[in-house]
Amino acid sequence: MFGVVPVHPHFRPGAAEVYGARALGSVVAALGIASLLLLAAMPELLGSGGLSAALIGLPLALAGLVGLLVGYAALSTRLEVTQAGLVVEAPSWRAVPMPPVQKIDVAWHEVRAVRHRTELYRLGPLPIRLPLEVFAIETARGRVVLGGYFLWELEPVLIEVAHRADCPWREDGAVEASLLHTLRSGPPAWGTPDSSPEAVDRIRRVARLARRP
């Protein structure tokens, strides 16, 4: 099963609940490595370069690089929910997930809030906006940002985190940024929470889900 799922599916009362995306990360990383291997074999398969080699090689190189980065990000993301608190491991630079991995170990009273926002990324002059759902865990020891197309089913886990920490769930307004600028300089800064009717409705829905047994 892909997405953010329990690492130990047979949960025992009192044991830590550990969530990760190892299956997805392994598959995506393997696809990235396969793309790079095909790229390395291109001279043998197609002979000397030329336009055809470039048309095939550039997508393979991009797919290989993206696969490795996304696979690494998924493999390195881990959430451990215990009776005492929360342990989160995530790439320290979300824009281009590279080592080192950020780790925060906090007690429940140190978790201040869980935040959510939608980031809309522009692709140059194209009239396209790529939406990305992003979450942030605000703690007394810093902020951990989690988000990406590789972390499915992340919201239910963070709703449980907010419920256990008895902290607010905050909705931030959507932000728009250039994809290239974000890859170079990082994502937009986190602003003030959104107070629109849509945000209020979402907060109420999260509260209802958190109260479920």
In this predicted model, what pLDDT tens digit does every residue of 43-81 receive, in sequence order?
A: 766 665 566 666 777 888 888 877 777 788 778 888 899
**Mean pLDDT within 2-11:** 50
**Residue 131: other Cβ atoms inside 10 A:** 10
| 37, two tokens | 């291997």
Residue 10 has pLDDT above 50, yes or no: no
Q: Summarize the confidence of residues 113-134 as an average pLDDT.
A: 87
Mind listing the pLDDT tens digit for each residue in 139-148? 999 888 887 6
Share the mean pLDDT of the chain.
Answer: 79
**Would you say residue 93 has pLDDT above 70?**
no
> Are both 116 and 67 inside the same structural domain?
no
Domain boundary among 71, 99, 131: 71
pLDDT over 60 at 8, yes or no: no
Q: Report d(CA 81, CA 88) in Å as an integer.
A: 9
Distances in whole angstroms, Cα of residue 134 to Cα of each of 53, 57, 112, 115, 121: 37, 32, 17, 8, 12
Residues 65 and 155 in one domain: no
Give the pLDDT confidence score for residue 2 in this predicted structure: 45
3-state SS class at 92: coil
H or E element that contains 84: none
Identify whether 6 is part of a domain: no
Task: Name the residue range of residue 52's domain.
Answer: 26-71
User: What's the CA gap between 4 and 39, in Å, rounded?
Assistant: 31
Confidence check: pLDDT of 114 > 50: yes
Residues 124 and 201 in one domain: yes
Residues 177 and 129 in one domain: yes
What total number of domains does the chain contain? 2
DSSP state of 206: H
Residue 1 lies in a domain: no
- Which residue is listed with tokens 């307004």? 173
What distance separates the 2 farthest-apart alpha carbons in the chain? 64
Sequence-distant (6+) residues with CB within 8 A of 131 are 118, 119, 120
Do residue 132 and residue 196 come from a single domain?
yes
Token reading at 211: 């109260």
Regarding whether 112 and 66 lie in a shared domain, the answer is: no
Is 149 within the bounds of a domain? yes
Q: Strand 111-122 to strand 169-171: parallel, antiparallel, or no bridges (unpaired)?
A: parallel
75-96: b (≥16 Cβ within 10 Å) or e: bbbbbbbbeebbbbbbbeebbe
